[in-house]
Chains A and B, each alone.
Chain A
Amino acid sequence: MRGSSSMSRSRVLGALEKKWEVETRWRSMLAMHLKSREGMARLQQKYLEGVFESRKKSVENLERLVALTIESVKREGGNVYVAKTAEDARRYVASLAESRGVKCVIKSKSMTTEEIGLNDALLSQGVDVIETDLGERIVQLAGQRPSHIIAPAVHLSREEIARLVKERRGADLPPQPEAITRFFRQDLWADFKRAEMGVTGANIVVAETGQAVLVTNEGNGRLVATMPRIIVSIAGVEKIVETWDDAFNVLRVLPVSAVGRDATSYITVIGPRGMSRHVKVPEYHLVLLDNGRTGASNDPWLKDALRCIRCAACLDVCPTYRILGGHVFGDIYSGPMGVPWTAITKGLKDASEIAKYCVSCSLCLHVCPVRIDIPITISWIKHASGGKTLRERILTMYESYAVLGSRLPRLFNWLQGSRVSRRLMEGLLGIDRRRLMHRFRGGNLYEILGEKYLRRRSADVVYFPDTYAAYMDWSIGLLAVRVLEALGYTVAVPRTYGSGMPSIQYGFLSKARKVAEKNVEKLKSYAENGGRIVCSEPTAAYCLREAYPKILDTPSSRRVAESTWELTSLIAAESKTLSPSTRQPPNTYVFYHHPCHSRLLSPGRPSEDLLKRIGMNVATVDYGCCGIAGTWGMRRGAEGFLISAEIGRRVAEIILGTGCMEIATESSVCAQQLRQFSGLKVRHTIRYIAESLGIQSREEVVLNF
């Protein structure tokens, strides 16, 4: 365990030291994410429903669709082979190449061939293997593996690529993308002409006609499928869809989610009859790879990942992937989707090695066009693979720490501020000494509110404060209750437990289940009586609405989930009385930071709308996660803080660039991060609303945010 953790520490440090790479990847992923979001915002809902249904149908009917595909390919005169394992697939293609005397194989981009290790197998029998996708060719020449599933060479600079071309291909090129692309156009053309065998992957296989569909931009997929005399397509069995309607459901959404475009330059459909009825493809083989997929389709935690259409939107949005890249946060498949896919194809142990880079922000679920709940699947992988550290176990006790702090605020505030004790905390608890910590106000929300709220059996709204508003700074909870009452709601605040997010985040699912059960037990009767459960902390709302129903899977947890709201969403949706306030200081220009869990739960921007409604001047930028992710960003050095700081600095730069004066948000931990790296005042959105209603004044002491 120690060996593996120090290895991953040095991998993280190695990645962080490559500053150009980190900076470029962050910018590139952000740019791709923004394009994708722009495209997705235009896409009609019916297309999202369509792709979801088609992919779900595929996963639920794997065996039937494999049988149907075999029948179709044979009917059309092609060859089809179902490989149970990666080795079977490798062997089939390698012996085909050998028996046909193949000297050169050209390939179009295919993660499935990476999965089966095809290149090494062919090279070992003396076959020249040439990747023809530009990015793939570059990483092939560099002796690396792709770091991103659709932008394989995104980690390399133009200078590095030009140097590589000089070393490996002997051409002295200026470090310009145009010149490098022109060179490869010529260089690879020679390979297209000489290769006897073309190997493609497939984005889709259509069972009703037995054809493979490739989605590309460069045209290499078309050439690979056109030029050689033997063509082999290799596809995971989960890629099979039943009909052409299903195929187009995927094709309509895939490029939008990937790059924000309605279509890529080329969709190429290949099969036994090739591009002509007259000039036939002499020999066509379709290899359908199982390699754990059928097993996964029967596993309640892994089966949803089989819906993946490989759009890479989850990589582009993932905060840790943006910093670490696919060579650290990835195996064959990288980033968020890489974790369940490593579990499917290589097993839980390998998956757990990369699962630790997931910080449970949930943004990958938010952007996934086929709604794969990667974060909860990763929590389960962490849980099922064992191997959690003592420090992670300690971090799941965060609520107990907060309860103690609420009782001994002076001591805890002193401990958190003293250099000596911070060193001790770093050594013993693994909390980085450089992390700015929230101060304790002293006392807790339940005491402040008193029995009336605790005992109320039915109410319009049940307030669920979570750890921060209950124990660290009850003023947020108090304001939430007062604002709700001012807007006409009756409010109950039963004593509940912290949401259990640290346990979910670090994969202590048994512990998380216990907390979830207790909270659901406390809340269910209110929900059954039509009460809304309201959270001022987005992560708490995420736990109640998304995580609990998945880890408990009971009718009560679903009932509670259906009744859960974020505080500002409820106000935005139901309060007609809020209007521009005369109480706001003139020209207050705030930046609104949209917390990750809130993006998932409250699409649109209800908080931002509310702030505008009360007359604030609001700026916002969709950069994604601020990089703290609960207790993760507090963890020592390479385990959390250093990565978190890389993100925090970049986010702060964007925020400060807007010229805003302060920051509004709802997440207590985001506030911690934004305060630390921007140096600006951060306030909970409810404070602005309270001010506009005359409940709180600007002069009142704000402890943390």
Chain B
Amino acid sequence: MAVRNNTEREEELVGAGARLDVEKFLEKCRMNGFQVAHVQSVEALVSVLADWASGWGVRKIVLGGLSKQLAERIRGEFTGREYMVLEIGGVEMEIEELRTGSLGVFRANAGIKETGGLVIFDNWASNLASLIPEYSVALLEMGEILQDYWMLAHLIRQTRPGGIAIISGPSSTSDIELTHVVGVHGPVGCGCIVAGLELDE
């Protein structure tokens, strides 16, 4: 995969203002309970994923909605480190396989700066990878961060997705005596990696 992973190129593409936006977006995500990282290369991306996976104690990586090349690259890195890597889509797979001891890695279509949310449009595999495993990590390009919900409304009108998920934190509840507990039905922990490079190239 041709990854042009340098800061200059990023600045050229989106300008310094966007860099600030990324930080604000990530700050908001952090407040919502995400682990966050801003990377400039696939190597760095994989290294962050590996760190988080080891911190969370998972040995299974579930990929959903990633480009073929990126999926290959991640698979390569992790297989060498004795992880099991599964890819959603194509082959029929037992949903149970995705559930325990796993980290879902999915491609988000957009991020919302104002509220710290990640958006999935119409992608069954991304949806599952973000929902079923015990942990999940969203991958997002820097230029995909939108200011607010109304920019998202504009995007929805343009692209007409059939299904949308906006994720703004780990699955949680306060239903028992208002005690905050994470990991009710969806992921116990989640992360967001913003990449200053083109992920699907």
Do A and B originate from a single complex? Answer: yes
Contact across chains for B183 and A185 when beta carbons are under 8 A apart: yes
- In the complex, per-residue mask of A150-178: 1 if CB is within 8 Å of any chain B CB, else 0: 01111011100100000000000000011
Give the shortest distance, in Å, between B185 (CB) and chain A (any CB): 4
Residues in B neighbouring A153, C-beta threshold 8 A = 175-176
Take A184-B184, A217-B171, A265-B169 as given contacts and tell me if A274 and B176 are in contact as well, using a CB distance cutoff of 8 Å.
Answer: no
Contact across chains for A263 and B163 when beta carbons are under 8 A apart: no
Contact across chains for A279 and B165 when beta carbons are under 8 A apart: no
A135 to B167, CA, bound (A): 21
Flag the segment in A242-250, A327-335, A444-452, A520-528 that touches B: A242-250
Take A193-B95, A269-B163 as given contacts and tell me if A177 and B176 are in contact as well, using a CB distance cutoff of 8 Å.
Answer: yes
Residues in A neighbouring B122, C-beta threshold 8 A = 273, 275-277
Residues in A neighbouring B170, C-beta threshold 8 A = 265
Contact across chains for A248 and B149 when beta carbons are under 8 A apart: yes
B147 within 8 A of A: no
Contact across chains for B115 and A262 when beta carbons are under 8 A apart: yes
Give the shortest distance, in Å, between A79 (CB) and chain B (any CB): 15
Contact across chains for B162 and A276 when beta carbons are under 8 A apart: yes
Take A263-B115, A263-B116 as given contacts and tell me if A76 and B185 are in contact as well, using a CB distance cutoff of 8 Å.
Answer: no
**Which residue of chain A has the shortest Cβ distance to B65 in the bound complex?**
A276
Give the shortest distance, in Å, between B178 (CB) and chain A (any CB): 5
Residues in A neighbouring B13, C-beta threshold 8 A = none
Interface residues of A in 230-259 (CB under 8 A from B): 243-245, 247-248, 251-252, 259
Contact across chains for B178 and A243 when beta carbons are under 8 A apart: no
- In the complex, per-residue mask of B111-151: 1 if CB is within 8 Å of any chain A CB, else 0: 01011110010111101100100000000000000001110
Give the shortest distance, in Å, between B77 (CB) and chain A (any CB): 27
Contact across chains for B162 and A275 when beta carbons are under 8 A apart: yes
A552 within 8 A of B: no
Contact across chains for A219 and B184 when beta carbons are under 8 A apart: yes
A157 to B175, CA, bound (A): 10
Residues in A neighbouring B24, C-beta threshold 8 A = none
Flag the segment in A24-32, A420-428, A434-442, A618-626 that touches B: A24-32
For B128, B161, B162, B167, the residue with the greatest tally of chain A CB atoms inside 10 Å of its CB is B162
Flag the segment in B4-12, B78-86, B152-160 that touches A: B152-160
Give the shortest distance, in Å, between A275 (CB) and chain B (any CB): 3
B168 within 8 A of A: yes
A273 to B161, CA, bound (A): 8
Residues in B neighbouring A192, C-beta threshold 8 A = 185
Take A134-B175, A279-B124 as given contacts and tell me if A248 and B185 are in contact as well, using a CB distance cutoff of 8 Å.
Answer: no
A181 within 8 A of B: yes
Residues in A neighbouring B149, C-beta threshold 8 A = 248, 251-252
Residues in B neighbouring A274, C-beta threshold 8 A = 124, 162-163
A222 within 8 A of B: yes
Interface residues of B in 24-71 (CB under 8 A from A): 28, 32
Choose from B112, B166, B177 the contact partner of A158 (Cβ within 8 Å): B177
Q: How many residues of A contact B (CB 8 A)?
A: 68
Residues in A neighbouring B75, C-beta threshold 8 A = none
Take A181-B184, A226-B131, A277-B162 as given contacts and tell me if A265 and B175 are in contact as well, using a CB distance cutoff of 8 Å.
Answer: no
Contact across chains for B165 and A154 when beta carbons are under 8 A apart: no
Interface residues of A in 169-213 (CB under 8 A from B): 177-178, 180-182, 184-185, 188-189, 192-193, 208-209, 211
**Which residue of chain B has the shortest Cβ distance to A188 in the bound complex?**
B185
Contact across chains for B153 and A248 when beta carbons are under 8 A apart: yes
Take A161-B176, A276-B122 as given contacts and tell me if A244 and B165 are in contact as well, using a CB distance cutoff of 8 Å.
Answer: no
Residues in A neighbouring B181, C-beta threshold 8 A = 177-178, 181
A138 within 8 A of B: yes
- In the complex, per-residue mask of B179-199: 1 if CB is within 8 Å of any chain A CB, else 0: 101011111000000000000
A132 within 8 A of B: yes
Contact across chains for A218 and B163 when beta carbons are under 8 A apart: no
A266 within 8 A of B: yes
Give the shortest distance, in Å, between B125 (CB) and chain A (any CB): 8
A268 to B120, CA, bound (A): 10
A267 within 8 A of B: yes
For A178, A184, A266, A278, the residue with the greatest tally of chain B CB atoms inside 10 Å of its CB is A266
- 24 A-B pairs in the complex with CB atoms less than 8 angstroms apart: A151-B178, A154-B175, A154-B178, A209-B156, A209-B160, A211-B164, A217-B173, A217-B174, A217-B184, A219-B186, A222-B165, A225-B163, A244-B153, A247-B153, A263-B115, A265-B172, A266-B168, A267-B168, A274-B163, A275-B120, A275-B163, A276-B122, A276-B123, A281-B163
* Chain B interface (Cβ < 8 Å from any Cβ of A): 28, 32, 95-96, 99, 112, 114-117, 120, 122-125, 127-128, 131, 148-150, 152-153, 156-157, 160-179, 181, 183-187
Q: Apart from A177-B179, A209-B160, A269-B161, what are 20 other A-B pairs with CB-CB below 8 Å? A: A28-B177, A135-B175, A138-B176, A177-B176, A192-B185, A217-B171, A218-B185, A222-B131, A245-B150, A263-B112, A265-B167, A266-B165, A266-B166, A267-B164, A268-B165, A273-B163, A274-B163, A275-B123, A275-B124, A281-B163
